[in-house]
Structure 1
Amino acid sequence: MYFWKNRGGRLYGDADRVFKELSKKYKLYIVSNCQDGYIEAFYKYHDLEKYIEDYENPGRTGLSKGENINLVIKRNRLSAPVYIGDTDGDLKAARFAGIPFVYAKYGFGQVSEFEKAVDSFEDLLTIF
């Protein structure tokens, strides 16, 4: 049904270890602009679903990324969420949701402002 179920996509660095370590201290969530089914296929293929508490995307809701961030925040009663992203759209979505933005410099885009930045996926362990 989905390409990602068969191929899984490419993970940044030692993603399994990073997810595992972060999930010991924090609840992890995914909000993406992808189609319905992509997130589930991605983390099932890589066996990361055990680390993800909840997720959302416009394929399921028809909402913008910022609105989906707010939906996840409300649904899970989050008190101090942070959004990690790599594009100006991610920054705008975090600002829409009124939450801090961590810029993933290793990603696909560039942003003009952020609260913190990381040069690699593994660097998330140094700021959280």
Structure 2
Amino acid sequence: MIRSYTVRIHNSQTETYHTVQVPEDCYILQTAEEQGVQLPFSCRNGACTACAVRVLSGEIHQPEAMGLSPKLKDSGYALLCVSYPRSDLEVETQNEDEVYELQFGRYFGKGRVRAGLPLDED
């Protein structure tokens, strides 16, 4: 028998709260959308940070979350597009740029990329 869990989502961008029922074998983002909840997303395959959340309570399973390092996962970050609930959950959406910086910032020695500069300019 497939279990279903209650997932409470705080969308910090819109300051809204949503509660959805998600079967343990379904992605949280897709199931929330099917229940009328609009959340941030982009790639839908676990490679970016647009749907990143911070897990406030509960257990989540995200074996396909390539866009998060093991360190970020261990720190409580998850990607809703490729996450399955393993208990009742409470999560909060995150700023995509902040999560991206945590994930990849160390690789950009000169800091953040600035828009509008020619490619050959340092």
Higher helix proportion: 1
TM-score, normalised via structure 2 length: 0.33
Larger fraction in strand: 2
